[in-house]
């Protein structure tokens, strides 16, 4: 029985991580075919594995552009989240102890609501007949509705709203572990609050900043729902292209190859995040 307990996590990973990855890898090497399902497994015929899917995914400018745009959007989302999360985390750390738990609960409050209803709320706010345009028109600030929905600002607004807590929490944990005596010593030596923050707090919080960036960047790189519901039509990111290949074009081998390549691209930041987690 004692030997079985340590094997449970390995069995869980094998069933729910390794097995799906092997299925996707096998699907990426399959041949497209007419019928249901729309592919032929590489070992079921005489043709062998199909490597043309990877050649197409790597060689087609459309797919390369989708991956590049996805990485740029993920970087922009992570950067915006860090810019907002750092003062929020500092405010949480420096707040009176009796207020910290209520403030953390408010931070996590969006997670108590479903993801799609939150995106639907942004659609209601940003559409031409939404609250924002209605208030601006009622105040006489604009004559015609602003094209807020299905735009790049709407996309980043939804992304930051969805992933901001993932940046605040690791920063809060890192900053709460800092010794206040270090900042007090910097102040005693004549450092202004800004100089003490720049020369003491930021360097000590660097691991938390990096972890917060990666914790937002990794899931944002493969995001599909927010670009689809809030983003402009030209925002053909990796997640949207993968969805289109799988469900609209029904080219499952190419879709699986794109998924494998996206995972390979994210392996480096995932490994960096794991190393940051292991640091004391």
CATH topology for 70-278 is: MetI-like fold (1.10.3720)
Region 44-62 average pLDDT: 84
Check: CB of residue 253 under 8 Å from CB of residue 53.
yes
The three-state DSSP-derived secondary structure of the chain is CCCHHHHHHHHHHHHHHHHHHHHHHHHHCCEECCCCCCEECCCCCCCCCCCHHHHHHHHCHHHHHHHHHHHHHHHHHHHHHHHHHHHHHHHHHHCCHHHHHHHHHHHHHHHHCCHHHHHHHHHHHHCCCCHHHHHHHHCCCCCCCCCCCCCHHHHHHHHHHHHHHHHHHHHHHHHHCCCHHHHHHHHHCCCCHHHHHHHHHHHHCHHHHHHHHHHHHHHHHCCCHHHHHHCCCCCCCHHHHHHHHHHHCCCHHHHHHHHHHHHHHHHHHHHHHHHHHHCC
> pLDDT tens digits, residue range 125-158?
999 998 999 999 998 888 889 999 999 999 999 9
* Tokens read off for 102: 């209520």
Cross-strand pairs, 31: 40
**d(C-alpha 11, C-alpha 146), whole Å:** 53
Q: What does the pLDDT read at residue 33? A: 83
Q: What does the pLDDT read at residue 161? A: 94
In the chain, the percentage of residues whose pLDDT exceeds 90 is: 46
Check: CB of residue 160 under 8 Å from CB of residue 119.
no
Contacts for 161 with CB less than 8 Å, ≥ 6 apart: 110, 118, 122
**d(C-alpha 206, C-alpha 202), whole Å:** 6
Check: CB of residue 28 under 8 Å from CB of residue 53.
yes
> pLDDT tens digits, residue range 190-246?
777 788 778 888 888 888 898 899 999 999 999 999 999 999 999 999 999 999 999
Q: Is 5's pLDDT higher than 90? A: no
Query: How long a stretch of residues is the chain?
Result: 280
Q: Is 45's pLDDT higher than 70? A: no
Domain residue limits, the chain:
70-278
Confidence of residue 13 (pLDDT cuts 50, 70, 90): confident
**108-117, 187-196, 243-252, 258-267: range with lowest mean pLDDT:** 187-196
């Amino acid at each position: 029985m004692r030997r079985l307990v340590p094997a449970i996590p390995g069995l869980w990973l094998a069933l729910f991580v390794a097995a799906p990855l092997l299925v996707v890898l096998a699907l990426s090497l399959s041949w497209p075919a007419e019928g249901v399902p729309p592919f032929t497994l590489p070992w079921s015929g005489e043709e062998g594995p199909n490597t043309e899917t990877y050649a197409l995914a790597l060689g087609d400018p459309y797919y390369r552009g989708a991956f590049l745009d996805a990485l740029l959007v993920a970087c922009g989302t992570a950067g915006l989240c860090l810019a907002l999360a750092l003062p929020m985390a500092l405010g949480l750390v420096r707040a009176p102890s009796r207020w910290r738990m209520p403030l953390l609960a408010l931070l996590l409050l969006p997670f108590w609501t479903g993801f799609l209803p939150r995106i639907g709320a942004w659609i209601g706010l940003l559409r031409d007949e939404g609250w924002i345009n209605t208030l601006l028109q009622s105040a006489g600030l604009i004559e015609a509705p602003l094209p807020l929905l299905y735009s790049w600002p709407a996309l980043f607004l939804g992304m930051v709203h969805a992933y901001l807590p993932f940046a605040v929490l690791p920063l809060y944990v890192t900053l709460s572990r800092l010794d206040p005596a270090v900042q007090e010593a910097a102040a005693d030596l004549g450092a202004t609050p800004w100089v003490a923050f720049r020369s003491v707090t930021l360097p000590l919080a660097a691991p938390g900043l990096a972890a917060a960036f990666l914790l937002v960047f990794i899931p944002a790189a493969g995001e599909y729902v927010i670009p689809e519901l809030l983003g402009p039509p030209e925002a053909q990111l990796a997640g949207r292209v993968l969805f289109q290949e799988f469900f609209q074009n029904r080219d499952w081998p190419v879709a699986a190859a794109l998924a494998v390549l996206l995972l390979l691209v994210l392996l480096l930041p995932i490994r960096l995040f794991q190393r940051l987690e292991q640091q004391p």
